[in-house]
Amino acid sequence: MMIVRRSSIFALLFTCVECCIRPAPSAGNFTFASYYGDHMVLQRGPKQAIIWGYGPSPGSDVTVSLSGETPISVKVDKGNTWKVKLAAVTDTKPHTITAMSSSGTIMLSDVLFGDVWICSGQSNMVFIMRHLFNATEEIADAVNYPDIRIFTVGMEFSSVPLSDLKSVMETWSLPNKETVGGDGFFSAVCFLYGKRLYNKLKYPIGLVTSAWGGTPIETWSDTTALKKCNIPTFDNENNENNVLWVPTAPSLLWNAMMFPLTNMTIYGALWYQGEANAIPPANPNTYNCTFPAMISSWRETFHVNSEMQTDEQFPFGFVQLGPWKNDSSITTGFPDLRWHQTADYGYVPNAKMNNVFMATALDLPDFSSPYGGIHPRDKQDVADRLLLSGLTVAYGRNAGKYQGPFPTKYFMDTQSKTYLITYDDDSAEIDVRSEDGFEVCCSEIKTSDCSTEDSTWVAAPITDHDKQTVSISYKGCASPYVVAIRYAWRESPCPFKKCAVYSIENNLPAPPFIQHLAQPSDTLLYHSRNVVIPELIKH
């Protein structure tokens, strides 16, 4: 059965220059694969980078030399490809890589070794530097980062996995006003994250953008991941009526824009996507399965295809959906998807999403954006938040608290009709900026899941707070049972950086959450980000 999702409007908001095939250096039919080129960054040691290419003919010899290292010789396989694993390199100087065969010599020059990050997703990852706030200053500053190198995959789709890219939009380049700020795009989030990361690490960073606006997660997922979640997969052989599948169909972008990259050794990946899965007719409630499944399949495929050089649990960062419309009444779609982006935990890493980090963006609205409120121009705050969590999760650096506050205890006082909510086990101080954002689910049935007519969500304003707790009032609840609490459960929950709860230490907002509560009414409930599964325990 074929499923075609209608392309959404923001797929059209970023019209990029036509992709063109840019072949790698060649001698006859002896070439490097499409994503190798001068000025590139390969993954630094202790991992080993992979180099592969084509020809000149099956069974012939190819010798690859890295400046200062012993040459490596391999045979061209039956598919007319060859592949070598270079020695680990930890220095930061430019290198030359030479491949020789009976057809001649091909060369890659000015090659740096650093950390390679893949940046993928939809239009907010596509969002270009010249559409930023302070774009002129950001673009002018790019030239000061010659050890960051950028590459953009061409926008293509395929019904079967491809061994190499069909096209390249931007070959490996040094950042300058043309390559970063010109008509051809480079992702703003990707570059700003890479720039901040370089400022901390002080060694080369390679950034590879592979993104397409308006696309759902299913098209970036392989069939194995989709089957785990009972999502129909693309079946070209049984395609009734020979109907053309659009680029949003399952696996088509994975096949053409991600799978070809999996021979590379990479350090990690960034993901900015979810809008297409939150907007009807999409069903956001499958994302708690499809997102962890996609991450798992990417990790496995990169690990295997890079000859075990890409870590099998490589770091994966993502941006939790920001606001969209200037309407505080919308409680479905985006709020559901934000929760499901964390596999229904409310935070990452967690038991289902190991070595995953995120930037919460629900408090960064830009309703006046000329590119639509769904495309905010403030990507600097997003990059700052990605960096803070990435340094801790991806690099194990002690950067202090890298998450926003999260509730760990709930206590109901039936006399005052309040709930006392404690954040982070009393281990961090909170900054309360608004009394709004909390709601309680009131029901006639104590086992209600808040999805039926027997229950109603009612605002529960903050009436008091101290350094670790907030008190919320449920006096507006006319039903006998309070069965759940939720926070920031709106498409656009607050003005810019004015949600209710923030961390004093890192200025990060508390992420949205929903918590079903135990009964009877007087309860003390507890969970922690440190346990395997954050069960609520009745005391």
Query: Do 41 and 185 belong to one domain?
Result: no
74 plus 119 within the same structural domain: no
For every residue of 66-91, DSSP letters joined together read: ETTS--EEEE--TTSEEEEEPPP---
Q: Residues 346, 473: one domain?
A: no
Distance CA 323, CA 337 (A): 12
| Domain edge (last residue) among 82, 112, 142 | 112
Same domain, 79 and 137: no
Q: In degrees rounded to 5, what are phi and psi of residue 127?
A: -40, 125
The more confident residue out of 372 and 451 is 372
Both 497 and 356 in one domain: the answer is no
Residue that terminates a domain, selected from 51, 81, 112: 112
Within-domain flag for 399? no
Structure confidence by residue, pLDDT tens digits, 124-159: 999 999 999 999 999 999 999 999 999 999 999 999
Instruction: Specify the pLDDT at position 8.
Output: 36
pLDDT band for position 12 (cuts 50, 70, 90): very low
Same structural domain for residues 97 and 119?
no
Owning domain of residue 499: 407-526
DSSP state for residue 16 in the 8-state scheme: P
Residue type, 372: G
What are 426-437's pLDDT values in tens digits? 678 999 999 999
**CA atoms of 365 and 84, how far apart (whole Å):** 47
The per-residue pLDDT for 426 is: 67
Q: How far, in Å, CA of 347 to CA of 445, rounded? A: 29
In angstroms, the Cα distances linking 148 to 38, 62, 110, 170, 178 are: 13, 30, 12, 14, 15
Name the band, by pLDDT with cuts 50, 70 and 90, for residue 183.
confident
- Is residue 332 in a domain? yes
Give the total residue count for the chain. Answer: 539
Cβ 468 vs Cβ 475: under 8 Å: no
| Cα(3)–Cα(252) distance, integer angstroms | 12
Pair (192, 255) in one structural domain: yes
* 215 domain-assigned: yes
Report whether the peptide linkage leading into residue 520 is cis, meaning its omega lies within 30 degrees of zero: yes
Is the residue at 535 inside a domain? no
Reduce the DSSP state of residue 296 to 3 states and report it.
helix
Q: What is the pLDDT of residue 235?
A: 62
Quick one: 368 and 450 in the same domain?
no
Beta-sheet pairing, 316-319 with 356-359? parallel
pLDDT band at 3 (very low <50, low <70, confident <90, very high): very low
Claim to verify: residue 257 and residue 184 sit in the same structural domain: yes
Residues 31 and 83 reside in one and the same domain: yes
Domain with 267 in it: what CATH number? 3.40.50.1110
Section 355-363 average pLDDT: 98
Q: Distance (Å, rounded) from C-alpha 336 to C-alpha 489? A: 8
- The total of structural domains in the chain comes to 3
**Secondary structure, 3-state, 193-258:** HHHHHHHHHCCCEEEEEEECCCCCHHHHCCHHHHHHCCCCCCCCCCCHHHCCCCCCCCCHHHHHHH
Q: Which of 73, 93, 112 is the last residue of a domain?
A: 112
Report, as an integer, the average pLDDT of 444-471: 93
Structure tokens at 158: 């395929």
Considering the entire predicted model, what is its pTM? 0.90
* In a shared domain, residues 85 and 129: no
Q: How confident is the model at residue 238 (pLDDT cuts 50, 70, 90)?
A: very low
The residue among 124, 152, 155, 263 whose CA lies nearest residue 219 is: 155
CATH number at residue 104: 2.60.40.10
Report the pLDDT value the prediction gives residue 518, as an integer from 0 to 100: 66
Same domain as 376, residue 423:
no
In angstroms, the CA 469 to CA 246 distance is 50
Predicted pLDDT of residue 536: 28
